[in-house]
Chain A
């Protein structure tokens, strides 16, 4: 089967804008809310959302951090894991945290992300935002509150999310392994 493009160009931008407006509905001016992107690929979405929110909310400073989950993963020793940078230079204690990742698949990365995040304090509330939700493929009872697109895929397929910042274009493709 040929690779299938799920989202690109204008629709990609519209999806991110829609996610931002959904966030504003819940978090108002973000004075009590912070964004944390999961390494390695969730940070692009987190930064994009931060920039878009600051644009919509007229340059209000919105905290956005980067969280690496390598040391908390349960597949340690099953595959090669390379740690990335963690940078959370704000307090998450009693804040509303929006965890951001590009693809929600088995839920294991999010589980390790929750554990990693708790090393920085006890947030008031934690929500999950993903660009792509691969439903019916979860290993853990984890669901996202904000979803860019939902797709039905099988385990032998891959979802590739490309970002202008790292790959030169914004594009989501469904690939067959």
Chain B
């Protein structure tokens, strides 16, 4: 298997195990590339990519842009705040206007779940989902899996716990799909108000006790509380959340084994994770960011390289 089974990267759900393994092994090659004296390869020099960000982003947008530039693609950036979307233009019209300028690939972040899937049906370009509401964030899941593999090897049978605001997290859902396809065992941990009811139907166990969850796992992925998506109060106060689900140095040191700590960013220091944990040797948060560029290079390289495209 040396080709993806899909034309777009819309979500991990649409990928099979071979696709995920192909992206991760190709990312390994790109990680070596981005550590060379000259970090650029000419693979996508004939490709133009538009980054459409209808929602705020720092890491993902910069990471995609850097990945595109390191693949020698031409890049145009678009953010909804200073565009004609404000004047009432529809998503399909906006994108078709951009495509009329001969753009080959679209990287899109949108607040509506399914926006990327909708767009893939409507326009002729390769679509990469950079986050659609609380639905999926496939490249984050791929870079998380890549970072875990670097630390603990093959993920088959490994235990991963995702802690925090699962309900509003696209990272959680993509991570669950990705890790399960790679054979890992996944639990979620957090206040029950922030755990979706359907989650057990995905084969994921719920562990409301943070200490028990951490004792069980090899890797803990700490998520941010997404206050901007919370229209009602899901827990009494941030302080109480931190007391119940915040990871601090004392908890980490009292565990019977050393676990890996991850966070997709942005971190709310002192809420879900304290500074001394985020900056500790067990944390691989910055490695995740580095790996993000390599994984996104791999995803775009493989999508652009599909035969007949």
Contact = CB atoms under 8 A, between A and B. Distances in A.
A84 B28 CA distance: 10
Contacts of A85: 29, 32
Contacts of B38: 118-120
A115 B42 contact: yes
Contacts of B2: 80-82
B125 to A, nearest CB: 15
B41 interface: yes
Contacts of B306: 77
Contacts of A78: 307
Interface string B41-78: 11100000000000000000000000000000000000
Contact of B36 (A72, A84, A119): A119
Contacts of A86: 29, 32-33
A76 interface: yes
Given A77-B304, A81-B305, A85-B32, A71 B41 contact: yes
Interface residues on A, range: 20 to 34
> Taking chain A's interface residues, is the majority helix, strand, or loop, or is none over half, making it mixed?
loop
A87 B305 CA distance: 24
B26 interface: yes
Contacts of B245: none
A84 to B, nearest CB: 8
Contacts of B40: 119
Nearest to B70: A71
A6 B39 CA distance: 41
Contact of A72 (B3, B29, B42, B309): B42
Given A71-B29, A76-B305, 5 more contacts: A71-B41, A80-B307, A81-B2, A118-B38, A119-B39
Name the 10 nearest CB pairs between A and B, nearest first.
Answer: A71-B41, A119-B38, A83-B29, A71-B43, A80-B2, A82-B2, A119-B36, A86-B32, A77-B305, A80-B3
Interface of A: 68, 70-72, 76-87, 115-116, 118-121
6 contacts: A76-B305, A80-B307, A87-B32, A119-B38, A119-B39, A119-B41
